[in-house]
A = this chain, B = another copy of it.
Amino acid sequence: MPCIRQIIAGVVIAGALALASAYTAMADELASWNDGPARKNIVDFVTAVTSQGGPDYVEPAARVAVFDNDGTLWGEQPIYVQLAFVLDRVKALAPEHPEWKDTEPFKSVLVGDIAGVAASGEEGLTQLLGATHAGMNSDDFTKIATDWIATAKHPKTGKPYTSMVYQPMLELIDYLKAHDFKVFIVSGGGIEFMRPWTERIYGIPPENVVGSSIKAKYDVNDGKPAIVRLPQIDFIDDGPGKPVGIYDHIGRRPIAAFGNSDGDFQMLEWTTSGAGRTLGLIVHHDDAEREYAYDRKSPFGRLDRGLSEGPKRGWTIVSMKDDWNEIYPQ
């Protein structure tokens, strides 16, 4: 009998400890988010859709959350990281292409004339993508992207790009995963440019990454099979392309969407017009001191329509300055 009593006491103590630690964990999970409406909206939403028996309950299988990448999970200023990769690759490959010195858009890249690159338009961009992202097999491209991301540095901070991810968003991903959400990246960036590092940096595996892509073909040479990357754009996962990319890759409508620019507008619109409770959230870059301040007029990550219409649509606008007490992982 004393034995039973001791066991019961032990179970009660263990239970109390577990409960206390669950509360602490919940508080810690979003530690970089200041108390305020943004944090509250997130916690209220997650609590509502995970409360079994509640009116807003969503079963785990349908808890799909989608995150934009550039400007939402990591920085996109002064230029998109992938554009920095393109510029670096053109410079690295230039010795094999003496003709580039006199041919646009390569000429502008080599003399560092970003305006000239921009002036080459979509055709120029396709040429740059073809020269830097295609013509090799999938394993070789993965190695090129992996090697570059391991050594490239941000022009302002001198830090690796993968250390300039947003700590509050990392916490948000973990918080959602801890509540049985399936978390996906849905980015305008190249799908194969992101996949080599998203699992390590964000805890999001390659199969949960949706992005823009070029065409590829299967080829067997001397009995050795390979996926060969072709210089032809296959899919642009931006703006109205994002709901289409979600339909193709995920096959169901998300209940939560996180973005920062007008390229995410349709993804948030599609998500928040679904049945049941949903969450749409936009990160507003208004922190010139700790990061960057930009919105309606920025060439990268322009946020205009979302800033005007978002609040009317019930979307949460996150002020980087006021809502986040940390920007980067320490």
Separation of A167 and B138 alpha carbons in the complex (Å): 36
Separation of A240 and B242 alpha carbons in the complex (Å): 27
Residue of B nearest to A199 (CB): B61
The verdict on A123 contacting chain B, using a C-beta distance below 8 Å, is: no
Asked if B61 contacts A251 (CB within 8 A), the reply is no
Asked if A270 contacts B240 (CB within 8 A), the reply is no
The verdict on A304 contacting chain B, using a C-beta distance below 8 Å, is: no
The verdict on A224 contacting chain B, using a C-beta distance below 8 Å, is: yes
Could you say which residues of chain B place their CB within 8 Å of the CB of A138? 247
A contacts with B: majority SS: helix
The verdict on A302 contacting chain B, using a C-beta distance below 8 Å, is: no
CB within 8 Å of B: which A48-84 residues? 61, 64
Could you say which residues of chain B place their CB within 8 Å of the CB of A249? 207, 249
Separation of A211 and B152 alpha carbons in the complex (Å): 37
CB within 8 Å of B: which A1-26 residues? 2-3, 6-7
Could you say which residues of chain B place their CB within 8 Å of the CB of A101? none
Asked if B240 contacts A273 (CB within 8 A), the reply is no
Q: Which residues of A contact B (CB under 8 A)?
A: 2-3, 6-7, 61, 64, 138, 182, 184, 191-192, 195, 199, 205-209, 213, 216-218, 220, 224-225, 227, 240-244, 247-252, 266, 269-270, 273
- Oligomeric state, in copies: 2
Contacts A138-B247, A182-B207 given: A240-B217 contact, CB under 8 Å? yes
Could you say which residues of chain B place their CB within 8 Å of the CB of A247? 138, 216, 227
Asked if B218 contacts A266 (CB within 8 A), the reply is yes
Asked if B270 contacts A243 (CB within 8 A), the reply is no
Residue of B nearest to A252 (CB): B206
Separation of A108 and B240 alpha carbons in the complex (Å): 39
Residue of B nearest to A240 (CB): B218
Separation of A209 and B248 alpha carbons in the complex (Å): 10
A-B residue pairs in contact (CB < 8 Å), sample of 14: A2-B3, A3-B3, A61-B205, A191-B251, A206-B251, A207-B208, A207-B249, A213-B248, A216-B244, A216-B247, A216-B248, A217-B244, A227-B244, A227-B270
Given contacts A206-B251, A218-B241, A218-B270, 16 further A-B contacts (CB under 8 A): A3-B6, A7-B7, A61-B199, A191-B248, A191-B251, A206-B252, A207-B208, A207-B250, A207-B251, A213-B248, A216-B244, A225-B266, A225-B269, A225-B270, A227-B247, A249-B249
